[in-house]
Amino acid sequence: MSDLQLALSAFPDFAKIIQTGKPYKKLDFSAANKALVNRDLSETGEFSSFVFDELLQKNAYTGIGGYGEDRIIYRHRKHFGGDSVNARSIHLGTDIWIDAGEAVFAPLAGKVHSFAFNDNYGDYGPTIVLAHELADIKFYTLYGHLSLSSLEGMIAGKSIEAGEHFAFIGNYPENGDWPPHLHFQIIADMGNYQGDFPGVSSIQDKLHYLSLCPDPNLILRIPENA
């Protein structure tokens, strides 16, 4: 276990990032989910209906999952390489599937590292990265698929308190053209990235990126049987 993982594990109480109170239901977008076989989810409205009406039972649940998952849904989006040899399909964060307009809260105190509108089809859309320090270890959290309004008045270096509402879940197409959800990712080292960081890797690069991006459930702390 890395020093960052140990520090996150030892922290007593993170604020909840999403605070709707709905029970969680795990969603699987790998080839193991037979409901995805031969299903074309390239049209975002149909994809959204599939997630919220079918998988989340008329929006009765908050969807959760995806860390380290080899996802077949990226085959429909050229941003990830489609069916090319080095296509990206390994998800490096956790997705929280919830209504557009829902508030996003900071799990712990930090400062705005950077932000951007990543507006390629299938990209993050509006994105905010927060910088944190815990037990003298610096790290970052990334929030993707936000609303454009979340970027209004945002400045690098702005202090964000634990539990502070600082963003909203975006709707398609402005959120990268996805069903409404939050992509939440922990990053040990941002390198030179600003307002962006790979959220999906190729299978060849999987171990490298998963070592940089530990399991978001170290912060989310959603029970495995959710």
User: Per the domain annotation, does 225 fall within a domain?
Assistant: no
User: Per the domain annotation, does 206 fall within a domain?
Assistant: yes
Cα–Cα distance for residue pair 157/117, rounded to 1 Å: 18
Average model confidence (pLDDT) across the chain = 91
Q: Above 60 in pLDDT, residue 78? A: no
Q: Above 90 in pLDDT, residue 34? A: no
Output the domain CATH number for residue 37. Answer: 2.70.70.10
b/e 132-170 (16+ beta carbons within 10 angstroms → b): bebeeeebbbbbbbbbeebbeeeeeeeebeeeeebbbbb
User: Per the domain annotation, does 22 fall within a domain?
Assistant: yes
User: Per the domain annotation, does 226 fall within a domain?
Assistant: no
Q: What is the pTM of this model?
A: 0.93
User: Per the domain annotation, does 96 fall within a domain?
Assistant: yes
User: Per the domain annotation, does 129 fall within a domain?
Assistant: yes
Please give the tally of structural domains in the chain: 1
The mean pLDDT value for 154-165 works out to 98
Per the CB < 8 A criterion, the answer to whether 8 and 219 are in contact is yes
Q: Above 90 in pLDDT, residue 18? A: yes
User: Per the domain annotation, does 161 fall within a domain?
Assistant: yes
pLDDT value at position 224? 79
User: Per the domain annotation, does 57 fall within a domain?
Assistant: yes
The mean pLDDT value for 150-171 works out to 98
What domain range includes position 186?
Answer: 3-220
pLDDT tens, residue by residue, 213-225: 999 999 999 987 7
Q: Above 70 in pLDDT, residue 114? A: yes
The confidence band for 81, taking pLDDT boundaries of 50, 70 and 90, is: very low
Burial class (CB in 10 A: 0-12, 13-18, 19+), 54: exposed
The confidence band for 197, taking pLDDT boundaries of 50, 70 and 90, is: very high
Higher pLDDT: 39 or 100? It is 100
